[in-house]
Amino acid sequence: MVSTLLVSQLVILGLMYGLLYGVLALGLNIVWGVMRVVNIAHGDFVMVGSYTSYWAFVLAGINPIISLLLTIPLGFALGTATYLSLVKRVQGSEELMSLFLTFGLSTLIGGLLLFLYSPTQRAIPIYLGNLAYLGLSIPVNILIASVYAIIVALGLRIFFTRTFWGKAIRAVIDDKISAMLVGINPSMVSLLTFGIGIAIACSVGSIIMLLESVSPVSGPDLTLISFVIVVLGGLGNPAGALVGGVLLGVVESVSSIAVNAAVTPAIGFIILFIVLIVRPQGIMGSR
């Protein structure tokens, strides 16, 4: 029999894992929403963050949480460099050109990681145990990941509502032409957005090292799951990414009572497919 305790345990796990999903998709969401650039290389940038954290740990014993100080600026630098050298040239042309470009970038980054670090799976041997409360068990590493997701989301919210460039980015999302008319430089906005998006992606790579082993080929899987979440939550809406992530996390977790674990990965895709057909703007999005 399925007990209430088990169900609440699964809901909590799904909720926490869902927040990680959300922050994973956050970078993809703002880049797509603001720039209309579909970044297929998103997951590979996450991997760059993971590998940076891994080597920081192996070579210098740096904890992945502390190596966030390394991966966030690295991600921002990579993002701006990628924007200036590649993405800028296709921005403004068809959405599909950016799709192809970032697909090439994804293949390139994946190949480079394989070439440099071999296909061996890498893991950091840090185990944080769990908090037990009322018969529920809360894994500390997943808790850290979900807290990090909330911090990033709050930070982005403050950035979007309190700072000039944050407001500028929102203005561009709402109406690009009007934003340009009031003197906002759209290529500066794009540069900033891409930098922030990739910085978040790389930092999530650090957090992931607390949870699982990674390999250079994990990137495309992460991109795929991020797509699901972005479309679920709605484009260009950072809060939507978190909602989409939590929704997917909880559904995957709770459905495991009824469904064989091998089928679980299909659930996200089937939900996505239905949402796309019924409500293409996403659950939180507006047309």
Partner 1 sequence: MTSRFFFRRAISTAAVAAIVVVLVIVVVAGVYIYTTSSKPKTSGPSVITIGMTMPLSGSLASDGQMSLDGLKMWAQDVNSSGGIPVSSLGKSLPVKLIYYDDGSNTQTVATDYAQLVTQGVNFLIAPYSSPLTLAAAPIAEAHHILLLSHGGASDSIWAKGYQYVVGVLSPGSQYMIPVIDMLNSLNPKPTNIAFFFGNDPFSLSVMKAVEPYALSKGFKIVFNQTYQESATDFTPQLSQIASTGAQVLIGGAHFVDGETIMRNLNSLGVKLDLVSLLVAPDDPHFLADLGPLANGVTVPSQWEPNLDFSKFSPYFGNIANGQQFYNRFMSLYGIAPNYEAAEAYATGLVLEKAIIDSGSLNSTVVRQQLSSENFYTFYGHFQIDSTGKQIGHTMVVAQWQNGTKQTIWPSSVATAQPLYPASLPSQPVSVMSQSSSSVFSQLSMNPVSIPYQQTASALVTTYQVPTGQSTKPS
Partner 2 sequence: MALDGNMKEKGGLSIGNLIPWIAVAALLAVAPYIVNAALVSFLFFFLMWVALSQSFNLFTGLTGYVNFGFVVFYGLGGYGMTLSLLRLNLPIYLALLVGGLIAAAFAMVVSLPVLRLRGAYFAIAMLSLAQAVFVIFDNWNFVNSATGYTIPVQYYNPQLQYYAMLVIAAATCLAVYLVMHSKLGLALRAIKQNEEAAVSLGVNSTLYKSITLAISGFFAGLAGGAAIWAITIIDPPSAFDTTVTLTVISMTMLGGFGTLLGPIIGSAILYSVEYYLGLTYPYLHLIIFGAIIIGTVLAMPHGIMGVLREYFLKGRVARATEEEIKVKE
Q: What is the total count of residues that contact partner 2 (CB under 8 A)?
A: 43
Query: Between 53 and 92, how does the x/- string for binding to partner 2 read (CB under 8 A)?
Result: ---------------------------------x--xx--
Q: Please, which residue, 58 or 154, has the CB nearer to partner 1? A: 58
Site for partner 2 in 209-238 (CB under 8 A): 220, 224, 227-228, 231
Looking at 151-159, 162-170, 200-208, 267-275, which segment touches partner 2 (CB under 8 A)? 267-275
Indicate the length of the chain as a whole number: 287
Q: Which residue shows structure tokens 């068809």?
A: 94
Instruction: Give the nearest distance from C-beta 284 to partner 1 in angstroms.
Output: 24
Question: What are residue 64's phi and psi, to 5 degrees?
Answer: -55, -30
Site for partner 1 in 217-276 (CB under 8 A): 217-218, 221, 252-254, 256-257, 260-262, 264-265
Residues that bind partner 1 (CB under 8 A): 3, 5-6, 9-10, 13-14, 17, 57-59, 61, 63, 114, 118-121, 123-130, 132, 137, 139-142, 211-213, 215, 217-218, 221, 252-254, 256-257, 260-262, 264-265
